[in-house]
A and B are shown apart, each in its own frame.
Chain A
């Protein structure tokens, strides 16, 4: 009798069976995880039925970490070790962060990204974010009863390269296979567009806890195309709290506050802001550690007055995005409101007045991003057959360039270029006999280097001595589908080459990520070997499935010998997948990848030919 087969949990025995994929909204204030269940996107709640996870991490001691509500409950007692709004610090240095003085943390100024000193030691914002992601991963695993094959994590559209890289690193440290970084307004547009079968040009106004994005998208059947995006990655609901906090301090004539009282009043400020969404005034009362009592009343009118400049500040990027899209207010069919901060009536009013139409509020502004991310994760995992899925065309938010003589930036890829994007430009030497060239990679819109963000510096050495202006140095930029940049440079007369993936100056070096990964194993008491093996197996299994389906679709593109070579590499990998040596599996994966290189290129060519042939037949 044949034995019944049971597959690895979370790994389907049949290639067409659904893979478990999740979408994560890693927010400044709250985070969520969602998935698509029987074709319907749903937010996964925690064991107590709560959908949101407050993005708050408390390091109790060197071993114990609390995340979410538990951490939130202790934030005023233990402000130094309880990190709120960590998203504001992702990919940022100490000098980049506003209101640093009123943040009750022990900052460590590290090269590139700042760090925080806590009861568990010095932590990078990447590690802190990874704690939040880990809790969401565990929540999803429990709820879906299996291993997660991949995740889409959302980022503000206006996040720069360093902030995106930091987010992706956090995902890796949390043990997630990050299928894609997805822009938050784009995720919202997917959820809104599919739910409402929307067609036409829409604006997504996304005011979150710490970031503001505006994206203009063209929605048509099966295509979501971002035309322009703009925003402010340092503006959000937190700033409204801050204004209220300052107002309280002034109104109650308070002396400079300690960390505890500061956090207490920040929490009170936020509660008052939320209360004012449905009420005309909010009473704010608190007993400070100094024995002082705070007892003030904030009216809607005062609240609108002290936050008016913040609301106005969002409209600049809105106008800019419209200009970049070459559109005017009349061309916009609807404005989708996203992010908890858009609940404030004055924000709704200002947006309504600007676009001369009522904003669209029929989706929960807290959940819409996670739902859209889950839908995209489901597509990326291959759970939707072609024809039922959609095409997503997104852009980079900020121009990329390099520094030239005189501290000026030369733009190589302009903002709002559709990604993936690549462009190369030639530069030359300045002095006779110059043998090296320093390449300084910048991101931003301003002409002066000092006004842009420095992403990386690297050197091209060994240029043969020539007269000034004779060398031809080709600098090539490549931005992938996550919006992440890599840069290479090559001297074309001699072939001297230098290449980097932009990471060093604001992101973390690979070695740092490896170390954090190891720390996270120790912390979770996971066996790092078991984890590496599980990851390699998922990877290998995926590749075998992909190769098999490629062979069955396009076998005719190969001759007998080529097919045999691929099949042999595949059989070899399958054999090793049954074993326990993760290094051998990785080698076999690499070997199969090499064996399919040419086949992949041919399949791509064939796909393009099919696309064009289809059009020609259709237009006859």
Chain B
């Protein structure tokens, strides 16, 4: 499989320097973007489209913590299995139910603001744990469980977005 870290000349690790990634991304884009080839022949335009698409996808994957972790684990032969492995520790599930209840009871945007703040804290703590498991302990199976949890939190984040929209 394609290694997205290689594309940007980055070492494969969960903790990444956002700025370095962004700079690499822009430098590559400035070489391959379709705007550079608006007057070129079909062959170059096609190659440009393929490359830009790939670079955008790789950038999107590395920017997003869940996708970045999933990619790293796959590079190490571990499947996160979002669809098939839905078992979660009871304690985590209880906490999720509580958060969802709080979402249902959120009557206005300030209640949503608060909930979002709390969720964001949970997420960054989860990201720290994932970084620790992958980069330090090299415990990829353990990390897979954490990534599934983080994805759970991401979904809740999306539901908060929908709730905001209903309030609009």
Residues of A within 8 A of B (CB): 19, 150, 179-180, 222-223, 315-316, 319-320, 323-324, 379-382, 386, 391-393, 417-423, 478, 480-481, 542-543, 545-547, 550, 589-590, 592-594, 596-597, 599-601, 603-604, 607-608, 610-612, 614-616, 619
Contact = CB atoms under 8 A, between A and B. Distances in A.
B41 A604 contact: no
Interface in B1-44: 7-9, 20, 23-24, 26-36, 38-44
A418 B29 CA distance: 12
Of A180, A380, A419, A608, the most chain B CB neighbours within 10 A belong to: A608
Contacts of A392: 33, 35
17 contacts: A150-B39, A222-B30, A319-B164, A320-B164, A380-B39, A417-B60, A421-B53, A481-B49, A547-B41, A596-B44, A604-B31, A604-B51, A608-B32, A611-B27, A611-B30, A615-B9, A616-B9
A265 B54 CA distance: 54
A320 B42 contact: no
Interface residues of B, number: 40
Contact of B32 (A150, A593, A604, A615): A604
4 nearest CB pairs, A to B = A607-B31, A380-B38, A611-B27, A600-B43
Given A319-B164, A615-B24, A418 B41 contact: no
A319 B47 contact: no
Interface string B40-84: 111110111101111011011000000000000000000000000
Given A417-B56, A615-B23, 8 more contacts: A323-B164, A417-B60, A418-B59, A421-B56, A594-B43, A610-B31, A612-B8, A612-B27
Contacts of B31: 604, 607-608, 610-611
Given A604-B51, A608-B28, A611-B27, A420 B38 contact: no
Contacts of A542: 39
Interface in B152-168: 161, 164-165, 168
Contacts of A420: 34, 49, 52-53, 56
Contacts of A601: 43, 47
Of A478, A550, A592, A615, the most chain B CB neighbours within 10 A belong to: A615
Contact of A382 (B20, B39, B53): B39
Contact of A608 (B36, B39, B41, B51): B51
Contacts of B44: 546, 550, 596, 600, 603-604
Contact of B34 (A315, A324, A481): A481
Given A422-B53, A546-B40, A550-B44, A391 B33 contact: yes
